[in-house]
A and B are shown apart, each in its own frame.
Chain A
Amino acid sequence: MSDSTRSFPSAGSVGRFVPRSYFGVTFALLFLLTLGGSLRVAQVDPRLLFERESLANLARFVGGMFPPELSWSFLSLMARPVLETIQISVTGTLVAVLIGLPLGLLATGSLTWSGILHEQRPAAGRWLLGFVPYALARALLSVFRSIPEFVWAFMFVRAVGLGPFPGVLAIGVAYGGMLGKVYSEILEGVNSQPLEALHASGAGKLGIALYGLLPQALPNVISYTLYRWECAIRASAILGFVGAGGLGQQVELSMRMFQFNEVVTILGLLFLLVAGVDFVSGRIRARVVR
């Protein structure tokens, strides 16, 4: 390009075409336009919050929360949903690992098609043999995770009926998609030198995965899986709204009957649950990630 642009070597490839100052201005303008448009389209109107009817509704809702329902009979009734929520999250995460790990391994380029040291041009037939499963796994994972767990739950409730099981399936599939994607990224990021050594000694792909890839990736894999479990606890509360069991279903029942004092108790329980899970997974992580 022209001489003036040559004086911006640090701006990288973009700087070769657009001098840096225009670049910033253009971006700022685009950002403002996007923001303005978003406010309009999302119908952001703070006045609505302060209209009389809204305020009255809000007051009824908040007022109804107090005093929270803390009677023994209600609390003992909640024991089962609490347990159910924990079990949905644990089983759901387990299903997610069972889906995510094999797909994640297939979606790891260094294992399936690009080679440990990024070999690019093997014979066309062989290239396809590695690339097709890789691309299929990637596509499947992205379908799994791009559909929200809420929608999955909705579909599974239709398929297998009300109860915790559709919740487990929903978390399993949606989180399986996320875990698989992240697993493959973790696996691609490990130090390739030990893999090269195993490759050179005649080890097969599974051997390389078992003795080179997975041991190196394990701390991150476990850490991320635990993080997903924490998310699963929260998600399992939401899933109850579409009839997938757990605490969420109780929230929905109490809401529908305008028992806001019960709602606040259940939310409190959920808070304790999430805090407890955070604590437990934090302890496990501290032990494993060394």
Chain B
Amino acid sequence: MFELENIRKVFGDGTVAVEGISLAIGRGEHVAFIGPSGAGKTTLFRLLNLTLRPTSGIIRLDGLDVTSLSDAQLRDARRRIGTIYQQHNLVGRLRVVHNVLAGNLGRWSTMTAVASLVSPRDVEGAQRVLTQVGIPEKLYARTDGLSGGQQQRVAIARVLVQDPDIILADEPVSSVDPSLAASIVALLRDLSAESRKTLVMNLHSVDLALAHFPRIVGIQEGRVLFDLAPDKVGAELLSTLYAGHGKEEIQRERFDEILPVSGVCRPLRP
């Protein structure tokens, strides 16, 4: 499905976010990425969902080099990849139904998109995916009125409407409380397994990763430190992975959130 060949990403300010990553992810596979904040996991996800262009190296999606794609092909490719973000990235002022149906934008014509804002198209579809994520009653609620966990479910519902072949989830549970976190990770895993989708997840919580994923990739300073089954990931490896990241971790995390807005990240643009 995905093949990365010696991917590097250097930002405009000289920061090296990804330093030579090569790996392959097969169809229907479930993979968790773990590692300290600032290791380049979020950048790696932006490369995988084709919003960032690598500085060097090749990304292949089903054997096709993505840098060779035309604008239209690139949009088609993006439509096949659904991304779930840490901050939900929903529009708070819109009703849930519109945020969910926004998953259709990759295939809707502009006219349909406009019409749906006036009178929602495919309400049954929206209702169905909201039922799948467990909040069918929120269909017409205003999105910013929902709790963090509910908003994350709306974001998942949007990806289900998009119906991609690959689901990328970038720290999907770090802004919800721990008891919800496990249920959301399990939900994503089960939904992907049901529809045979590839699932790639960045996780802050090592325990969640080890409990729910058959393949664990440790990322450190933009490189792959290990790529193993969960039972091979021991305490020693983990302490190497997180070496030097104690309290500082929390500060780094906030820095991570500011990056995209301040314009350091440069995505692939048609």
- Quick one: given A197-B83, A197-B89, A207-B105, are A117 and B98 in contact (CB under 8 Å)? no
Instruction: Point out the residue from A122, A201, A219 that lies within 8 Å of B83, measured CB to CB.
Output: A201
Task: Write out the residue numbers on chain B whose beta carbons fall within 8 Å of the beta carbon of A215.
Answer: 91, 93-94, 98
| Whole-angstrom distance between the Cβ of B28 and the nearest chain A Cβ | 21
Are A218 and B93 in contact, CB atoms less than 8 angstroms apart?
A: yes
Closest A residue, CB atoms, query B102: A211
The verdict on B117 contacting chain A, using a C-beta distance below 8 Å, is yes
Q: Is the CB of B51 within 8 A of A196?
A: yes
A residues near B12, Cβ cutoff 8 Å: 120
Is B40 an interface position by the 8 A CB rule?
A: no
Q: Pick from B87, B158, B164, B266: contact of A118, CB below 8 A.
A: B266
Q: Identify the closest chain B residue to A207 (Cβ).
A: B105
B92, B106, B269, B270: the one contacting A201 at CB < 8 Å is: B106
CB distance A201 to B268 under 8 Å? no
**Interface size bracket, A side:** 20 to 34
The answer to whether A202 touches B117 (Cβ under 8 A) is no
Give A contacts to B, CB under 8 Å: 115-122, 126, 191-194, 196-204, 206-208, 210-212, 215-216, 218-219
Most buried by B among A116, A193, A201: A201
Q: A122-B269, A203-B106 are in contact. List 12 more A-B contacts (CB 8 A).
A: A115-B266, A120-B266, A193-B87, A199-B51, A201-B79, A202-B76, A202-B79, A202-B107, A206-B110, A207-B102, A207-B113, A211-B102
CB of A146, distance to nearest CB on chain B (Å): 29
Contact between chains at A202 and B105 (CB < 8 Å): yes
Is A202 a contact of B110 with CB atoms below 8 Å?
no
Distance from A43 Cβ to chain B, minimum over Cβ atoms (Å)? 49
Which of B78, B81, B155, B260 meets A117, CB within 8 Å?
Answer: B260
The interface residues of chain A lying within 8 Å CB-to-CB of B90 are 194, 197
From A194, A200, A203, residue with most partner B Cβ within 10 Å: A200
Q: Which residues of A contact B157 (CB under 8 A)?
A: none
Q: Which residue of chain B is the closest to A211 with respect to CB atoms?
A: B102
Give Cα distance in the complex from A218 to B98, angstroms: 15
Contacts of A207 in B (CB 8 A): 102, 105-106, 108, 110, 113
Which 5 residue pairs of A and B lie closest in terms of their CB atoms, listed nearest first?
A202-B106, A202-B79, A203-B105, A197-B89, A118-B263
* Given known A197-B89, A204-B105, contact A192–B260 (CB-CB < 8 A): yes
Cα–Cα distance between A121 and B12 once the two chains are bound (Å)? 10
The closest CB in chain B to the CB of A199 belongs to B51
B269–A115 touching, CB < 8 Å: yes
Closest Cβ neighbor of B261 among chain A residues: A192
Cβ of B114 under 8 Å from chain A? yes
Between A and B, 19 residue pairs with Cβ closer than 8 Å are A118-B263, A191-B261, A192-B260, A192-B261, A193-B260, A194-B89, A199-B51, A200-B50, A201-B83, A201-B102, A201-B103, A201-B158, A202-B75, A202-B79, A206-B110, A207-B105, A211-B113, A215-B93, A216-B93
**Contact call A201/B89, Cβ cutoff below 8 A:** no
A206: which of B82, B113, B155, B158 is its contact (CB, 8 Å)?
B113
Residue contact B266 to A201, C-beta cutoff 8 Å: no
